[in-house]
């Protein structure tokens, strides 16, 4: 059976390295005992090196929360995917809604995705609609967002792409999307990928759900939502909650 993929997005948390180490240790201790779940943690960039104890740590992989679309140069404040790969980072989130909200366009995102994939990183591309409407216009806009966010990405690179479907209204909210709708939307994401790259590529691409996942709803979202895993924000920096979440997911058959 293919392992379920759980990615923790720490966002801009916690505020000290000591606390980052404590949360990471707790996640690692739990992850060690899992048999059918792969765990990735995406801390703020300043903590990455301290948490990467050795290259290719098989217990918990480290991801970044963003990467720039140039390899190097005069780009103050940016981090290149080449630098991340050199450190031992394996994954990178690109196009998170909290960055899209600040003006990151599909065009820039597609450039970032292309370079990060070219650099050999696994890219977690975040997509999702702002709101839903009865007529289904959100489906058209989601399809367009997927197409445009991958505009610069050739088919040969698609093998390392992971798509996180995160309806924006459910990110940082009180409640997650209901699992039956997660299922419909994950099929729609696959269909959009198939239209862009072909059926085989779409089937092989992992599709995750993200948006207010916690230890109580995680199992149900995976089972009834039939997704390949979860992108978890707030609950991933809550050691006890994340421990319970990982155990619940790993216990699924």
> Catalytic amino acids?
96, 166
- With binding defined as CB under 6 A, does residue 234 bind ligand PEP? yes
CB of 91 to ligand PEP, least distance (A): 13
- Are the beta carbons of 84 and 64 closer than 8 angstroms? yes
- Which residue of 63, 95, 211, 229 would you call a contact of ligand PEP, by CB under 6 A? 211
Nearest residue (CB) to ligand PEP, 30 versus 97: 97
CB of 154 to ligand PEP, least distance (A): 27
- With binding defined as CB under 6 A, does residue 166 bind ligand PEP? yes
- Which residue of 232, 237, 245, 248 would you call a contact of ligand PEP, by CB under 6 A? 232
Enter the tokens of residue 142: 């989601």
- With binding defined as CB under 6 A, does residue 100 bind ligand PEP? no
Q: Give the total of residues touching ligand PEP (CB under 6 A).
A: 13
CB of 186 to ligand PEP, least distance (A): 15
- Which residue of 212, 215, 242, 245 would you call a contact of ligand PEP, by CB under 6 A? 212
Nearest residue (CB) to ligand PEP, 60 versus 237: 237
3-state SS record for 6-42 = EEEECCCCCCCHHHHHHHHHHHHHHHCCCCCEEEEEE
- With binding defined as CB under 6 A, does residue 91 bind ligand PEP? no
CB of 72 to ligand PEP, least distance (A): 28
Binding residues for ligand PEP (CB under 6 A): 9, 11, 166, 171-172, 210-213, 231-234
């Amino acid at each position: 059976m293919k392992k379920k993929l759980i990615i923790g997005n720490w966002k801009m948390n916690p505020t000290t390295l000591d606390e980052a180490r404590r949360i990471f240790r707790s996640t690692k201790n739990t992850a060690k005992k899992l048999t059918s779940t792969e765990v990735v943690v995406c801390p703020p960039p300043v903590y990455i090196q301290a948490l990467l104890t050795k290259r290719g740590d098989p217990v918990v992989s480290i991801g970044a929360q963003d990467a720039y679309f140039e390899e190097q140069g005069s780009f103050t404040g940016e981090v290149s995917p080449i630098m991340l790969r050199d450190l031992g980072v394996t994954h990178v989130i690109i196009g998170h809604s909290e960055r899209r909200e600040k003006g990151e366009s599909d065009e820039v995102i597609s450039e970032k995705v292309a370079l990060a994939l070219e650099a050999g990183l696994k890219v977690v591309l975040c997509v999702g609609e702002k709101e839903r409407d009865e007529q289904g216009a959100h489906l058209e806009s989601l399809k367009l967002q997927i197409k445009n966010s991958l505009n610069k990405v050739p088919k040969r690179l698609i093998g390392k792409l992971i798509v996180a479907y995160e309806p924006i209204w459910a990110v940082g909210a009180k409640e997650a999307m209901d699992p039956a709708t997660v299922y419909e939307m994950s099929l729609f994401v696959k269909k959009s990928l198939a239209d862009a790259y072909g059926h085989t590529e779409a089937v092989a691409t992992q599709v995750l759900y993200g948006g207010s996942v916690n230890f109580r709803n995680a199992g149900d979202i995976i089972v009834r939502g039939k997704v390949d895993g979860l992108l978890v924000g707030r609950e991933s920096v809550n050691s006890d909650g994340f421990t319970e979440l990982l155990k619940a997911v790993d216990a699924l058959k």
